[in-house]
Structures are given as C-alpha cells and as structure tokens.
Chains A and B, each alone.
Chain A
C-alpha cells in the first residue's frame, strides 16, 4: 500500500509538538478573530486562518506517521476552501448590496 509507507525512516529535527503548538496558536487566533471581530469580511478571513491552522496540524501528523493520506486530506481541504470562498464571497457581496453594511451585529435576520 503506497499510502502507508512513503520512504525510509528519518527522524524529525523539529519536534512534532512544536508544529502542533504553532497550529494551535494560529487556530486560537483565528477563533478569536471570528468571535470578536464585527467586520464580516474579517470573520471570513479568520475562518480561513482556522482552516489553514488545521491543515498545518494534519500535515504535521502526516509527516510523523509517514502517511501520504494526510496530504490528500489537506489537498481536499484546500480545494473545498476554494469553493467555499467563492460561494461565501458571493453571499457576502449580495448581502452587502442588500444591507449596505458589513457589521455582523446588523445582520440579525436569522431568527425569522
């Protein structure tokens, strides 16, 4: 199974935990942005950041396990992120046209 073993065993110079820590920090920053910012576009960007943070974690684990499937997952995440960004931005544009605002606090029509 080619996905299982990519090549010879070479230890990682940078410990796995370092990568995990960086990924986690990036994720938390993104989370903070998503939760605390009121600019719709910034929230969107924060979400993208969170997604990339997770990508980093997955890559790190894939490296550690020597498993190419992890890279596959990241590949799919990036592709789906592209689709998501296209649709999300389209919604954003439509919303902005309709409401003339990018403040999430003004967008409270979800209760209907």
Chain B
C-alpha cells in the first residue's frame, strides 16, 4: 500500500464523513464547520490529483472566503436551530429519498462497473509536474481570456447585486 493510497483513503473518508455530518446535524454553525472540513479533505484530494493550485484555491476561496461568509450570515441572523416540527410533506420526503437512492445507486453502479478507463494515447497524465502554475496562467490569459474577462464582470455584478439585495429596503 503506497503512501498515496493511504492519504487518499484518509482524505476521502474524512470528506464523506464530514459531508454526512453536514447534512445530519441540526445546528447551522456545525453544518458549516463540517462543510469546511469536507473542503479541506477535497483540497487534499486535489493535491493527489496533481492540482496544487486548485487545492490552494479550494482552501483560500472556498473554505476561507465563501464558507466564512456563510458563517458570518449564520451568526448575523442568529440562526441557531433548524426549523422545528415534523415534515408536513411525507410524500415529498419519500419521493426525495427514493430518487436520491435511485440516482446515487445508478451513478455508483455505473462508475464501479465501468472499471478503469483506458488512458488516451495523446497527452499524458500530469504527474511529476514541479510547476504547473505557469501552464495554467498561460492558458488563462490566452485561450480563456474572454471567459476570464467575462468572469471579472460577473464578479463585479455579483458584488453590486449582493449590495443592493441586502440593503434594508425590503423591510
């Protein structure tokens, strides 16, 4: 058993467990913290997949910014408990469960049954890359320049939109 396999097992186990915890726990704060854990585990998996840059983004942007924002909102609105009372929509719940199980079973079954796909001849795996960031940077500012610029506009719009939405006008 190589080290990589061990790390993979630990990280993926942590991700799944904390994800389950996120869904199961009732307190919003604990939910968010569980998700942060999941994201950290996912960052580890990203490193295993030779994507250290994405792993960094995962930690800095997702865990560091987005989920902190969630945490901030939870505390701002003082959300301590999930909505009480039992579910008034049993059919909805049942159907939801059935569809989740069915879809999950289908996807997992397909994935596991398919076996390892062949590695394509053209282009190799991205192992042993010391420095992948220049490659990504070049890609970003050449092939994906338009998407990149559009993204900047989108982020600006999102910031402005968030500002306008959270003004107290709606009271």
Contact = CB atoms under 8 A, between A and B. Distances in A.
Query: Touch between A and B in complex, CB under 8 Å?
Result: yes
Nearest to A12: B125
A18 B8 contact: yes
Contacts of B15: 22, 26
Contacts of A52: 38-39, 42, 58, 62
A83 B112 CA distance: 34
Contact of B87 (A7, A38, A45): A38
Given A72-B144, A98-B171, A10 B31 contact: no
User: Which bracket fits the contact residues of B?
Assistant: 35 or more
A96 to B, nearest CB: 5
Contact of B51 (A49, A63, A92): A63
Given A38-B82, A42-B28, A82-B61, A27 B107 contact: yes
Contacts of B114: 17
B91 interface: no
Contacts of B23: 29, 32-33, 36-37, 42, 46
A72 B140 contact: yes
Contacts, number: 277
A4 to B, nearest CB: 5
Majority secondary structure, A binding face: helix
B153 to A, nearest CB: 10
Interface in B46-79: 46, 48-51, 53-54, 57-58, 61-62, 65-67, 69-70, 73-74, 76-77, 79
Contacts of A24: 104, 107-108, 111
20 contacts: A3-B143, A5-B123, A5-B124, A7-B129, A8-B127, A14-B8, A25-B16, A27-B107, A30-B19, A35-B100, A38-B83, A63-B51, A68-B132, A74-B51, A80-B151, A83-B154, A85-B69, A86-B159, A93-B77, A105-B88
